[in-house]
Structure 1
């Protein structure tokens, strides 16, 4: 088990070099405390060297990851200066200052980017500690006003990890209940499983007071107790007092002080080192299985991708050919899946690919056809002019039949108008095919030139097919114009021309439900304090809306007679898309409202509802500004015979155009599907590869992007690092029974301190006795700082353990018999001066 801490140090360095340290929760000890609480002095005592920057105000401005390793020779290494050994610890201090200023600047700025320092020495026990900036309240220099929150967030970033032990440093000459370090530790470790208290500056307490009850864990107890240390004073530091001499003075202080003499073996920096080593070793052992599982899960998550990268052979002459074939095949499969609707990546945000083309065929195209519905007055005027022009100078006799030439002339003119919607649908499908190609080429981004060439070749072919498809569409329209088939089975004929075909169609449809869905009534909500959403049901005869989609509570039913639909300009205050229904006879549509504004979330929904309303016979409004022409048509007088002929031809045109529309709606999607979509799929399957070979050299096409090469190298390095880490961890036996954590203590004082701080502990400290206390005859001394609760008193009693008082306890019974750790040769304790 002695190799656990060096193991973690190796893992930290390996992953820090890869920039992955933030992703792994490695076991470590974070030193937390207020500004000038003595954190840096504790660390220097642990190393037995002066190596940390000192000064007034905030000195530690970047986290310092300090890795202590027991070795025969003494030197230091920085991760950012790998390979350079520092034997002069003044140079170590200077390097820390330079590296800090390089990131944070020279005027008291802070950064969360850590400095990694490894110290080899025969005077240390293997430990990994993190020195964090001291908690401060007031900004100095160029520090921002929220410096307190920044430092707090940085500290929380480290101590909130479950694998981090917290060393809460508090000066003995301040109120312990107001300790910032203990408050932060309590927030992230409410059970106290990871918190160890350290009391510094015991030699600076007021005369006549001591911290015995705190160190015995009776006053403001912690689950893992407290350890007292005595650091060098500022005078000692200025006088260059040796740390080894300071440790001897610390030992002498505890042995000679009457309040601490009985627990001197459990006080001081050497004991703190050993406790931290034992705690960290146990902590690593306990967390290692979970850490191994995390590494294994990360390894599995990248294994498939790495397998592809491992087979990458840049020097293989067949590699580029294989890759080109695979990319083209993958592109072909993706394109076909997106068109057919069985893709592995389904878009959940909008319609795309085959679904959007289907919407163009069955919603947008029929809507465009009906949107060009002829103006009634315009059509009647054209029919009347056609009849008169056919007769020429001859007088129209009332007994003659209606001229069929006028019917053909009007019908052909209306059929020619269908070219616009048909060509527009071809353009829409072409654009959607190009968008689909762009989405499919994203998977070719590994090879930028291949991606560009594939998109260029396929888009060019799509535009070629677009021209041929348009020629075929125009041919279909010309075919319809070339012969007017009045013998069609669905044509009403001249005998039934007096009956309106629209009424026949509506009676055949009946009350069929055309569409259901949610719509917002926009203009009614404005009067009543907000728009309201209802469930709408559209049939061939009416538009009804309900409170919800259960259709139990009907709010209103609106007949569709004389209704038309028009667009409403979108308001800058609303994200909704709006259309309106109104009555052509200037009547109120709903209660006192002349029109009904309905809102949808997208323009696609608006177009879909318009198409459904067209199926129900509600046509879009065609605003006309030709008032003079209309007035002229209205003033044009027709005799009764001419009016009858106009009405007859009007009904014939309506009947025949419904046949043409039905035919065009059926043929145009089939034409587009055959000449465009299917041809493009065949081209990609059969000819794309040949075009790519002929367009550019294969080596040029298959050049990797710089981003892909970098990603492959990083992924392979990460894979190797994970495998190496698992191999190292796999050699460590973790079957040792873990020491259970100490029992919980009453730490409600930490929460009470936030609301009303208790009296200062200094007022409750025992006065120093003139005579040292007499030891029990059994030779037993008080136990370490870890309590075990008892029923006799509110505070847990101090347990006793047998045995003499060695300067460095060898068993660590208070910590549950941890594994053996490397230690220095046994030295005789200094004699106590009399």
Structure 2
């Protein structure tokens, strides 16, 4: 193929590509080279197009007449002298196969198609109308006629009509492969030319802008546009071309375009200012220049278009692969496909928990990280927020002490009172523990619902059944996990282990209480533990003296085996034991909030010193023991949840899916494809086929 032949074929090649793309995709995804005509209202751009075609075919009127982009493909055809008229016709993309031999009918069809989408008012619509005109009188060209830029809405035009038209114009002229035909009336100052302003915005170096000056015959007498046409005023790489269109009077008088073109030629040849450049003026020169410029532009841009086409082919192939193959599998292939999707779903579920998923969110905690956060932040914080003595008053403690002694008087604060009071407080740990179970369960359910992937989305019924099956497994494990957590609390309440190595012990608690008592009354002489016990005694003075004397010698309790099994030794502990040493080594024991301290202080004002010592001792012991249980629960509950709920679900998810869903009777139902996916795959296949055809067309000329 010779270079000249190749150049002549370039515009038809682009037209063919454009037909392929618009017929299949509806959008110019290839950014094909074309000439975009831009101008303000009444600039004469419609007349320029009609002069190039040599026919009246565009709607006329006041305000915005062009309200949808018109992609006009001019196709030069060789005519048989015996049928010149039959060689000239138009075709619309939206009416394939129908030929319009009447250009008046072409105009009416443009008006009908415009009104169909843009409405009957003066609004605009971005969807283009594609018109192809075959004629022996035209050169191969691809032109885009856009709505004229307007500033002031007229009649029922939208109030933002200027913004709409400018956005539409910029959308087309911003494409780097488009040539810009900026139409400006010669009787208007170039500084005010909207078309040139818009062109300069997207083409600052004016490399792809062609200027067209209309209405040269309407300039004031004694003025001309020679300096502009010569490129001395507003330099454009592709220059300015002057044209003279039919006047409104000529149109009303039905002056033919042939006569109009003859008058235009005569104007330039006889005008004293334009005579020297008349060969570079007029509609005929404009059409020829556009044809040659567009061909050269296409030749320059085709390699880039081919490269973009290869990229689009690769992207579309990937998209099609994601949709999967069509439903052409046999019964033998259905099982492996379902098993593959099940395995992938279960694998995603496990990976999300383990933190090994390839699609880990960077916006929020999720999966295993969220479970860790629940255990170590939310759950622990909720446990630490519990004040074990917040609901206890001195009166409650005194009542418990009195009830636990029955009709007898006790020597010391009874152990039963401590048990009665501490057990209800331990139950306070159950609510946050159960809430921890619920939060982990909810996170697992969230993971389950997010395990879908593009391959699985093809089969909505299968995806739904997979989610339902794993959700049912999680729901089954929720009950046993919750019950076990409850049992952990009940176990702690079942046996109050006052021999726990971390338990404060009564002696240490009493010492702590006495320290606080001395802080309240700095003048009071220090008391020994024995003296404190004497105050708590309910026995006769003589008996109290005996008890005190036996307690004054602290070492006697440590070394006398007979005292080790007594209630005194069991509850208060021996001051010299390892347990007591650890307890005394602590700071001040469990702390009480300021608010709670104020409340207790107010109540204490109504108590005797003995009653207050009894109550303070019990409260200290409750706080100490509660802290031990809280620490145990903080450790045991997460372990229980991980074992009974999280790890169990991870290990059993795939087995449950297979046992419940891998059944031949369900295969057909599970592999039902969503109709939208089917349509999207079909559209993707058509797009890929179009791109491959387009690549073949380009390969023929490169």
Work out whether the TM-score is over 0.5: yes
- Contact 1:309–1:716, Cα closer than 8 Å, also in 2: no
- Contact 1:12–1:21, Cα closer than 8 Å, also in 2: no
Task: Give the superposition deviation at 1:198.
Answer: 1.7
Residue in 1 aligned with 2:653? Answer: 684
Residue in 2 aligned with 1:186? Answer: 200
Residue in 1 aligned with 2:680? Answer: 711
Task: Give the superposition deviation at 1:693.
Answer: 4.2
Residue in 1 aligned with 2:311? Answer: 297
Q: Does 1:99 align with 2:113?
A: yes
Alignment of 1:203-602 (within 5 A): 203-309=217-323, 311-375=325-389, 378=392, 380-396=394-410, 400-441=411-452, 444-500=456-512
In proportion to residue count, which structure has more helix? 2
Distance in 2 of aligned mates of 1:128 and 1:623: 86
Residue in 2 aligned with 1:637? Answer: 607
SS in 2 for 1:83: coil
- Contact 1:499–1:651, Cα closer than 8 Å, also in 2: no
Task: Give the superposition deviation at 1:66.
Answer: 0.8
Distance in 2 of aligned mates of 1:369 and 1:387: 28
Cα RMSD after superposing both structures: 3.0
* Equivalent of 2:73 in 64, 67, 79: 67
- Contact 1:136–1:148, Cα closer than 8 Å, also in 2: yes
- Contact 1:371–1:619, Cα closer than 8 Å, also in 2: no
Task: Give the superposition deviation at 1:621.
Answer: 7.9
Task: Give the superposition deviation at 1:643.
Answer: 4.5
Distance in 2 of aligned mates of 1:618 and 1:84: 92
Residue in 2 aligned with 1:699? Answer: 668
Alpha-carbon spacing, 1:644–1:211, altered in 2? closer, same or farther (3 Å): closer
In proportion to residue count, which structure has more strand? 1
Distance in 1 of aligned mates of 2:617 and 2:634: 26
Alpha-carbon spacing, 1:268–1:160, altered in 2? closer, same or farther (3 Å): same
Alpha-carbon spacing, 1:438–1:177, altered in 2? closer, same or farther (3 Å): closer
- Contact 1:442–1:451, Cα closer than 8 Å, also in 2: no
Residue in 1 aligned with 2:534? Answer: none
Alpha-carbon spacing, 1:692–1:381, altered in 2? closer, same or farther (3 Å): farther
Distance in 2 of aligned mates of 1:185 and 1:22: 20
Q: Does 1:16 align with 2:22?
A: yes
SS in 2 for 1:190: coil
- Contact 1:411–1:653, Cα closer than 8 Å, also in 2: yes
Task: Give the superposition deviation at 1:128.
Answer: 0.7
Residue in 1 aligned with 2:629? Answer: 660
Alpha-carbon spacing, 1:290–1:393, altered in 2? closer, same or farther (3 Å): same
Task: Give the superposition deviation at 1:288.
Answer: 2.0
Task: Give the superposition deviation at 1:646.
Answer: 4.0
Distance in 1 of aligned mates of 2:18 and 2:590: 74
Specify which structure has the bigger relative contact order, considering alpha-carbon pairs within 8 angstroms and separated by 6 or more residues: 1
- Contact 2:473–2:653, Cα closer than 8 Å, also in 1: no
Distance in 2 of aligned mates of 1:495 and 1:619: 19
SS in 1 for 2:473: helix
The number of residues matched between the two structures is: 613
Residue in 2 aligned with 1:50? Answer: 56
Task: Give the superposition deviation at 1:310.
Answer: 6.0
SS in 1 for 2:147: coil
Distance in 1 of aligned mates of 2:116 and 2:614: 95
Distance in 2 of aligned mates of 1:439 and 1:619: 45
Distance in 2 of aligned mates of 1:111 and 1:702: 41
Alpha-carbon spacing, 1:109–1:490, altered in 2? closer, same or farther (3 Å): closer
Alpha-carbon spacing, 1:401–1:440, altered in 2? closer, same or farther (3 Å): same
Task: Give the superposition deviation at 1:652.
Answer: 3.4
Task: Give the superposition deviation at 1:38.
Answer: 2.0
Task: Give the superposition deviation at 1:450.
Answer: 2.2
Unmatched 5+ stretches in structure 2: 1-6, 79-86, 516-588
Alpha-carbon spacing, 1:178–1:387, altered in 2? closer, same or farther (3 Å): closer
- Contact 2:75–2:141, Cα closer than 8 Å, also in 1: yes
- Contact 2:18–2:28, Cα closer than 8 Å, also in 1: no
- Contact 1:35–1:136, Cα closer than 8 Å, also in 2: yes
Q: Does 1:78 align with 2:108?
A: no
SS in 2 for 1:165: strand
Residue in 2 aligned with 1:127? Answer: 141
Distance in 1 of aligned mates of 2:655 and 2:476: 17
Q: Deviations over 1:554-577 (max 9, x none)?
A: xxxxxxxxxxxxxxxxxxxxxxxx
- Contact 1:375–1:622, Cα closer than 8 Å, also in 2: no
- Contact 2:389–2:619, Cα closer than 8 Å, also in 1: no
User: Which moved further from structure 2: 138-147 or 631-640?
Assistant: 631-640
Alignment of 1:787-798 (within 5 A): none
SS in 1 for 2:73: strand
User: Which moved further from structure 2: 125-134 or 698-707?
Assistant: 698-707
Distance in 1 of aligned mates of 2:371 and 2:139: 72
Distance in 1 of aligned mates of 2:251 and 2:635: 95
Alpha-carbon spacing, 1:306–1:623, altered in 2? closer, same or farther (3 Å): farther
Distance in 1 of aligned mates of 2:663 and 2:424: 48
Q: Does 1:40 align with 2:52?
A: no
SS in 2 for 1:3: helix
Alpha-carbon spacing, 1:622–1:727, altered in 2? closer, same or farther (3 Å): farther
Q: Does 1:670 align with 2:639?
A: yes
Residue in 2 aligned with 1:520? Answer: none
SS in 2 for 1:469: helix
Alpha-carbon spacing, 1:692–1:12, altered in 2? closer, same or farther (3 Å): same
User: Which moved further from structure 2: 254-263 or 349-358?
Assistant: 254-263
Distance in 2 of aligned mates of 1:188 and 1:227: 21
Distance in 2 of aligned mates of 1:312 and 1:631: 80
Task: Give the superposition deviation at 1:681.
Answer: 1.3
SS in 1 for 2:37: strand
Residue in 2 aligned with 1:3? Answer: 9
Residue in 2 aligned with 1:89? Answer: 103
Residue in 2 aligned with 1:201? Answer: 215
- Contact 1:30–1:132, Cα closer than 8 Å, also in 2: yes
Alpha-carbon spacing, 1:695–1:462, altered in 2? closer, same or farther (3 Å): farther
Distance in 1 of aligned mates of 2:194 and 2:664: 70
- Contact 1:5–1:127, Cα closer than 8 Å, also in 2: yes
Task: Give the superposition deviation at 1:2.
Answer: 1.8
Alpha-carbon spacing, 1:499–1:469, altered in 2? closer, same or farther (3 Å): farther
Q: Deviations over 1:344-373 (max 9, x none)?
A: 222233222222221221222222223232
Task: Give the superposition deviation at 1:30.
Answer: 1.3
Distance in 2 of aligned mates of 1:187 and 1:465: 65
Task: Give the superposition deviation at 1:720.
Answer: 1.9
- Contact 1:74–1:120, Cα closer than 8 Å, also in 2: yes
User: Which moved further from structure 2: 34-43 or 62-71?
Assistant: 34-43
In terms of Rg, which structure is larger?
Answer: 2
Alpha-carbon spacing, 1:692–1:200, altered in 2? closer, same or farther (3 Å): same
Distance in 1 of aligned mates of 2:127 and 2:42: 22
Alpha-carbon spacing, 1:484–1:152, altered in 2? closer, same or farther (3 Å): closer
Task: Give the superposition deviation at 1:76.
Answer: 0.9
